[in-house]
Every structure is written in structure tokens, then in C-alpha cells.
Amino acid sequence: MANNELISAVNSLNYDIILDEEALKKASQDMKQLFQDVKTLLNEMLDVFSDLRNEGMNTPTGRRIYELFFHSVYEPFADLVYVAEHVSGNIDLAVLHFQSVFDEYRALINELQ
């Protein structure tokens, strides 16, 4: 694609970009809460199955059930915790990076009033 074709294609795009400070902050809070809830649930599940393995199912079959739980439930769930933590951290970074934009926008609005 030639340079002027690229410029023409970009100029033909018409999008409004909306940054909603409150929505971004709420998303940050919601993701933090989701991360904490999922992490708590994960730890509770691990505690229950560890107790069963150590006390109630201390047999070869019980240990196998625990291994199946660990690999088929716990590890995928732990991956979900990692993803939730990562998304939460990225939203927090977005809030920090866009804070100056929100502050300057408010200042501009105040000057225009």
C-alpha cells in the first residue's frame, strides 16, 4: 500500500474515543475484588482437598483422587487467578497512565466555564 493510500485509509476512519474515568476506576475495583474472590475460593478448595487427602482419604485411591483434583481443577483455576491478577494489574496501570488525561480534561472544562 502506498503512503498516500495509507493516509487516505486512516483519514476515512471516523471513531470517537471515549475515556470514562469512573468506569475505568470501577473496572479496576471490580477486577481487584474478582481477583481476591477467586484467590480465596482457590485456597479454600485446596484446603478442603488437602484435608481429605491427609485425613479422610489417606489411601492410594484417595491420593489419586487428590492428584486428579489438583491437575484437572486446581491448576486450571490457579491459571484463572493468575489471569485475573494480571488483568487487575493492567487496569490499575491504565488508571495511572490516564489520570493525567482526566486531570487535564477537568482543568480544560473548568477554564471553559
Write out pLDDT tens, residues 37-75: 988 988 898 888 888 878 877 888 888 888 888 899 889
User: Torsion over CA of 44, 45, 51 and 53, rounded to 10 degrees?
Assistant: -160
Whether residue 3 lies inside any domain: the answer is: no
Whether residue 87 lies inside any domain: the answer is: yes
How far is Cα 59 from Cα 42, in angstroms, rounded to an integer? 24
pTM to 2 decimal places? 0.62
Whether residue 10 lies inside any domain: the answer is: no
User: Which residue do the cell numbers 485425613 mark?
Assistant: 55
Identity (one letter) of the amino acid at 59? Answer: T
Whether residue 8 lies inside any domain: the answer is: no
Whether residue 92 lies inside any domain: the answer is: yes
| 43 secondary structure, DSSP code | H
Which cell is 82 given? 493468575
pLDDT (tens digit per residue) in 94-105? 889 988 988 988
Whether residue 85 lies inside any domain: the answer is: yes
How far is Cα 30 from Cα 41, in angstroms, rounded to an integer? 16
Whether residue 75 lies inside any domain: the answer is: yes
Whether residue 91 lies inside any domain: the answer is: yes
Count of structural domains, the chain? 1
Note the pLDDT of residue 17: 67
Percent of the chain with pLDDT over 70: 88
